[in-house]
């Protein structure tokens, strides 16, 4: 059994890039099922194919959970014991193994997308108020696109960069309750100071370390 964390094991491959047809294709490996579930909510100008859940017992937990496991041997032992027990049930079932898939189980999939669709998706998924798996995936993909097309790649930025203000707690796709879960990441001034959790969902420092890339900061960050 393998337990990974965050976007450290993530593999993103840019399989096709056509500036004439304004389309690209890329494959994702070693990301948890919950990331696919988030990513595949996109509908316009994008197609998700070849989705597969790995049959081997490989899990990818949140970095925070991993840190808890490292700091608390008793908790780590309980996690490993529970996963091994679940894996035994999964392998011995005569029914559908998918019924025993945790959202942390590793999966892979392939994406075909238009530039317009990608631009809108990047504006949302590059924000650090999103989960580390989906945010890291898009910063990694952006980095690969820059290597192929620097002008277009560098134009892909979080939506908050365009308005130079944090819109996490007031975005039209979030309810007021959900928008108050996590504190602003600090990339831009926030309209609210209250949050259930006094930290951002993801951080550029964490993603940079795990992905080995450089994430550009905002003018507010550098002020």
pLDDT 10s digit of each residue in the chain, 223 long? 999 999 999 999 999 999 999 999 999 999 999 999 999 998 899 999 999 999 999 999 999 999 999 999 999 999 999 999 999 999 898 888 888 899 999 999 999 999 999 999 999 899 988 889 999 999 999 999 999 999 999 999 998 888 888 877 665 455 455 556 666 777 888 766 666 665 667 889 999 999 999 999 887 776 5
What is the model's pLDDT at position 191?
A: 67
DSSP assignment, residue 128?
A: T
> Which are the contacts of 62, defined by CB distance < 8 A and separation ≥ 6?
5, 6, 131, 132
Contact present, 42 and 109 (Cβ < 8 Å) = no
Radius of gyration of the chain (CA): 18
What is the model's pLDDT at position 168?
A: 72
What is the model's pLDDT at position 26?
A: 98
Sign of CA dihedral 135, 141, 144, 145: negative
Q: What angle do CA 213, 218, 223 make, to 5 degrees?
A: 120
Task: Name the β-bridge partners of 146.
Answer: none
What is the model's pLDDT at position 222?
A: 62
What is the model's pLDDT at position 200?
A: 61
Look up the pTM and report it. 0.90
What is the model's pLDDT at position 194?
A: 62
What domains can you pick out in the chain, each with its CATH number? 2-64+103-158 (3.30.70.3180)
Give first-to-last CA distance, the chain, whole Å. Answer: 46
């Amino acid at each position: 059994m393998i337990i990974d964390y965050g976007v450290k094991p993530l593999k993103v491959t840019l399989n096709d890039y056509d500036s004439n047809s304004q389309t690209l294709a890329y494959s994702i490996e070693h990301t948890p099922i919950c990331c696919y579930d988030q990513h595949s909510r996109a509908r316009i100008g994008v197609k998700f194919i070849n989705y597969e859940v790995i049959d081997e017992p490989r899990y990818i937990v949140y970095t925070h959970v991993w840190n808890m496991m490292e700091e608390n041997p008793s908790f780590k032992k309980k996690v490993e014991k529970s996963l091994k027990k679940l894996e035994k049930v999964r392998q011995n079932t005569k029914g559908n193994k998918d019924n025993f898939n945790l959202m942390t189980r590793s999966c892979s999939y392939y994406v075909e997308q238009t530039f317009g669709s990608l631009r809108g998706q990047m504006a949302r998924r590059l924000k650090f108020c999103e989960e580390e798996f989906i945010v890291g995936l898009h910063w990694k993909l952006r980095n690969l696109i820059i290597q192929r097309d620097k002008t277009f790649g560098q134009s892909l930025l979080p939506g908050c960069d365009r308005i130079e203000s944090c819109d996490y707690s007031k975005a039209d796709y979030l309810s007021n309750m959900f928008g108050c879960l996590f504190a602003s990441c600090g990339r831009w001034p926030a309209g609210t100071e209250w949050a259930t959790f006094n930290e951002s969902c993801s951080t550029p420092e964490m993603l940079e370390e795990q992905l080995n890339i450089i994430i550009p900061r905002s003018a507010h960050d550098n002020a």
